[in-house]
Amino acid sequence: MSMFSQEHQAFLKKKKRGKRKIIFFRIFILFLFLALWEIASDQKWINSFLSSSPKLIFQTILSLIKTNDLWQHVGITIFETILSFLIASFLGISIGAFLWWHPMIEKIVDPYLTVCNSLPKVALGPLIIIWVGASTRSIIFMALLIATFLSIIDIYQSFVTTEQNYIILMKSFHATKRQIFLKVILPSNIGQIIKSLKINIGMSFIGVIMGELLVSKKGLGYLIMYGSQVFNINLVISSVFLLGLLSFSFYYLICLFEKQIQKKNGSTE
């Protein structure tokens, strides 16, 4: 028992060292990239007017903070993204469950889901503005078009590929379809649902920025569009940098949620 405990502790220490090493190299690569970028700009190896630099990005963000523009634009984008993410995730899980419950309907709508998912959503931008109006609603609608169909397909596929032995066992005890869904399908696919959430947050960001590029007068997408119109590359790249930070922050929050679920279920992954 003692030997097992020592081996287990050694395994956990090795796993922690591995995680720390991964985090170190992630941070190292980021800082190395920023340092090389700044050096290349200072040494005139690249044209900072066209490619900006970390120092210029930092100065641009400070300028936005001083004029009280930053939090307004960031807040608008965060609100639109969270709203789009929540709606898309709810629709993805609900419709995915509905299609699992009604396989005949799934067979009927399957080609339409595939076509809708593959449509170039940006090309529909003018139509969305006409249908919904040039407002926040059109931005949310664009984000939902991008995120929802992929979420439905992904979640439905995870539901139908659930281990069949569990389902057969439940049926042998005369379990109802509702019991099978609640006791087998849903618990077995929590991990897949969380992975779908990770994809959804990225798709929601893409949809929101596309929508803001088309109709918004506020938000990071608007800053990108405005910066490109006045040829302010520092503003464009600063906005993209902020989007990267926001995207990472939301992804990290979902990862924390995933860890809590794993702890609750007693997972060691």
Please tell me whether residues 35 and 141 are part of one structural domain.
no
Whether 55 is in a domain gets the answer no
φ and ψ of 234, to 5 deg: -60, -40
Residue ranges of alpha helices (H) inside 161-232 are 164-172, 177-180, 186-188, 190-215, 220-229
Please tell me whether residues 120 and 239 are part of one structural domain.
yes
| pLDDT (0 to 100) of residue 32 | 93
Please tell me whether residues 169 and 95 are part of one structural domain.
yes
Q: What is the pTM of this model?
A: 0.84
Please tell me whether residues 28 and 70 are part of one structural domain.
no
Please tell me whether residues 23 and 122 are part of one structural domain.
no
Half-sphere exposure of 150 (CA within 13 A, CB side): 20
State the CB neighbour count (10 A cutoff) for residue 232.
15
| 219: its two tokens | 């938000």
Please tell me whether residues 163 and 69 are part of one structural domain.
yes
State the CB neighbour count (10 A cutoff) for residue 66.
9
φ and ψ of 16, to 5 deg: -65, -40
DSSP conformational letter for 217: S
Whether 22 is in a domain gets the answer yes
| pLDDT (0 to 100) of residue 98 | 94
Please tell me whether residues 13 and 70 are part of one structural domain.
no
| 144: its two tokens | 């939902």
Name the residue type at position 57: I
Whether 222 is in a domain gets the answer yes
Whether 143 is in a domain gets the answer yes
Structural domains of the chain, count: 2
Please tell me whether residues 39 and 72 are part of one structural domain.
no
Whether 5 is in a domain gets the answer yes
CA-based R_g, the chain, Å: 23
User: Which range of residues forms the domain containing residue 9?
Assistant: 1-46
CA distance 251 to 258: 11
| pLDDT (0 to 100) of residue 53 | 87
Whether 57 is in a domain gets the answer no
Please tell me whether residues 34 and 127 are part of one structural domain.
no
- Burial group, residue 201, by CB count within 10 angstroms (0-12, 13-18, 19+): buried
Whether 219 is in a domain gets the answer yes
CATH of the domain at 221: 1.10.3720.10
CA distance 243 to 152: 25
Q: What is the pLDDT along the chain (269 residues), one digit of tens a residue?
A: 444 567 767 767 777 787 888 888 888 998 999 899 999 988 888 888 888 888 999 999 898 888 878 888 899 999 999 999 999 999 999 999 999 999 899 999 999 988 888 888 777 888 888 888 778 888 899 999 899 998 999 999 999 888 888 888 888 888 888 888 888 888 888 888 998 899 899 899 989 998 888 887 888 988 999 888 888 899 999 999 999 899 989 988 998 888 888 777 765 44
| 38: its two tokens | 């700044």
Whether 241 is in a domain gets the answer yes
